Copies of this chain bind each other. A is one copy, B any other.
Amino acid sequence: MRISRSTGLRAIPAWLLVAVAALSTPLPASQSSSWLDAYRDPAARLIAESLSSAFAWERLAFLGDTFGHRLSGSEGLEHAIEWALAEMKNDGLDNVRAEPVKVPHWVRGQESAEITFPHRSPLAMLGLGNSVGTPAGGIEAEVLVVRSFAELDASGDRARGRIVLLNVPFTTYGETVQYRTAGPSRAAALGARAMLIRAVGPPGLRTPHTGALRYAEGTPQIPAAAISVEDAERLQRMQNRGTKVRVRLEMEARFLPDADSANVIGEIRGRERPDEVVVVGGHFDSWDVGTGSTDDGGGCIVTWEALRLMKKLNLRPRRTVRLVLFTNEENGLAGGRAYLDRYRSQLGHHVLMLESDSGVFRPTGFGFSGSASARETILQIASLLRGIQADRIGPSGGGADIGPSVEAGQLPAMSLEVEGNYFLIHHTQADTVDKIDPADMAKASAAIAVMAYVVADMPERLK
């Protein structure tokens, strides 16, 4: 019996999950704990090999240091893709290839925001991804600060002709990010000329966070930018004092014609059932600030490591393990969709898809979405990771890039789970490799290698 979808598990009542677990038939012999014994040695070797060096961190550092950011359409991304292809071949991976994908090509250009009244003072800002630009010379208008969509909607005609600032304190990403994605069109619908948003993240050091917006059909497309928490609170205080603050926003942001990019793929070809595939990966593109080391360079490198470690230890599983470095997660998801388009007919042979895209801080285990019996198997495999404290299996797994395929194929899905201050640096200038501990990367690589290897090798397919 298969229960869950990556997007659906949260909706199933806990009592039902318990009931299903209680009703499930006894595990077959191959699924009882004893089958796991054959994997204790390879798991220990994968872990020891990973923990023996800082190879993953060094590779991630090289990637960010050398190529900088990797926004879709940028030279940095395409140079990095060429490098990754060469490196995967150097690692001895099988079937290394780039699978072409057309991607949106948004460019930021020059941008700035400043208070112009009562006294000129710059704001720390980052335009939102996919935003339109302003006319040359910018947009200057009085600011209306609101704390919520409710306050915005209640402002009646006061948003008209204004620059609206959505000053919403960060709670969780899922809850707060809606103001970034939907805010510009909500403000435009009320006649705002531009939108500013308090950065979606906890307070930093005057650190704006970029990220994609999504214009709604039928409302004017207005320019939109994030400003730092400090600047948002400053504008709030000024409004609270009755000061009629004016701000000038200037952005050259625009789309160029779609660009050529690619998903980068390498494999450990299965020795017995090569058509059955365990996919691991992350997204290779990033925002155009910082070097995209946690989002999601680290996820790419630690999933890549899983294959490199198997190769290094000459561990070739029964089934194929496929690494996919997806392109264009941040502002389009073209890579994830292209994978589905290309492999739709083969999804029945996809045993599991695993993505790492929550940063590579201290790994605690994985989130998993799949059947109750598959969960039982995954829990058993995870026990091999107890020594590195990465054996927790959370209630749901998935990822943006694997999402289209997981949904289309109703596939079991996993995500690496970590503990760390991901959202402090997410989509900021500060997303650089120094925020990541080499030991955490080694542990994460080991955890993914063990999980992927055992799922790919175990006698019975995960189901």
Chain B residue with Cβ nearest A432: B230
- Name the one of B75, B119, B204, B206 contacting A119, with C-beta atoms under 8 angstroms: B75
Q: A429 and B119 in contact (CB under 8 A), knowing A61-B237, A65-B238? A: no
Q: A205 and B203: CB pair below 8 A?
A: no
Q: In the assembly, how many copies of this chain are there?
A: 2
A82 vs chain B, min Cβ distance (A): 12
Chain B residue with Cβ nearest A204: B205
A346 within 8 A of B: no
Q: A432 and B206: CB pair below 8 A?
A: yes
Residues of A285-301 contacting chain B, CB below 8 A: 290-291
- Name the one of B66, B230, B429 contacting A205, with C-beta atoms under 8 angstroms: B429
A118 vs chain B, min Cβ distance (A): 6
Q: B65 and A234: CB pair below 8 A?
A: yes
Q: B432 and A243: CB pair below 8 A?
A: no
Per the CB 8 Å criterion, the residue count for chain A at the interface is 40
Contacts A66-B118, A66-B243, A234-B432 supplied; 4 other A-B pairs, CB < 8 Å: A62-B241, A68-B122, A206-B207, A206-B430
Question: Which residues of A line the B interface, CB within 8 A?
Answer: 61-62, 64-69, 75-76, 79, 115, 118-122, 124, 203-207, 229-230, 233-234, 237-238, 241, 243, 290-291, 424-425, 428-430, 432, 434
A231 vs chain B, min Cβ distance (A): 8
Q: How far is the CA of A428 from the CA of B205 in the complex (A)?
A: 9
Q: A206 and B290 in contact (CB under 8 A), knowing A76-B121, A79-B119? A: yes
Please list the 3 inter-chain residue pairs (A to B) with the smallest Cβ-Cβ separation, ordered nearest first: A68-B121, A205-B430, A206-B430
Chain B residue with Cβ nearest A293: B230
> Residues of B contacting A124 with CB < 8 Å?
429
Q: B434 and A233: CB pair below 8 A?
A: yes
Chain B residue with Cβ nearest A80: B119
Q: A119 and B238: CB pair below 8 A?
A: no
> Residues of B contacting A204 with CB < 8 Å?
205, 430
- Name the one of B62, B76, B230, B425 contacting A434, with C-beta atoms under 8 angstroms: B230
